[in-house]
Amino acid sequence: MVKVEYTAENVAKCQCTSCPVQAESECFKGRLRRMQEMISEDVDIASIIEAENVPGLYCSTGKASCTDLDAHQICKCGECPIWTEYGLNKGEPGSYFM
């Protein structure tokens, strides 16, 4: 089974930050805000590349770190370059990493 690497490059490609599944999540909004603040303060992305700080790349960790997500919305994983690059359509769960 393919393993998606947890790297800054893959975080940058991840579409999770614009995913409708997370759009109303307070947990997601807080993590996104903190990540944007750190980036604006020129914090080295490599120093914050921990799953608890990054609201995405769940296909690498296997599970979203926020629990207040809405599975009734359409997941964006199928539109993501990581999805294509790693052939995630052949894996499980395949999207909705919740």
Distance (Å, whole) CA 38 – CA 77: 25
Which of 15, 53, 65, 73 contacts ligand SF4 by CB under 6 A?
Answer: 15
Torsion of CA 14, 68, 24, 16, to 10 degrees: 0
Which of 52, 57, 65, 93 contacts ligand SF4 by CB under 6 A?
Answer: 57
Supply 4's token pair: 């998606």
Q: How many CB atoms lie within 10 A of CB 68?
A: 12
Choose the stretch contacting ligand SF4; rule: CB under 6 A; options: 9-17, 22-30, 31-39, 40-48: 9-17
Task: Check residue 16 for interaction with ligand SF4 (CB under 6 A).
Answer: yes
Smallest distance, ligand SF4 to C-beta of residue 41, A = 24
Distance (Å, whole) CA 44 – CA 53: 13
- The one-letter amino acid code at 86 reads Y
Which of 21, 35, 54, 59 contacts ligand SF4 by CB under 6 A?
Answer: 59
Binding site for ligand SF4 (CB under 6 A): 14-16, 56-59, 76-77, 80, 82-83, 88, 97
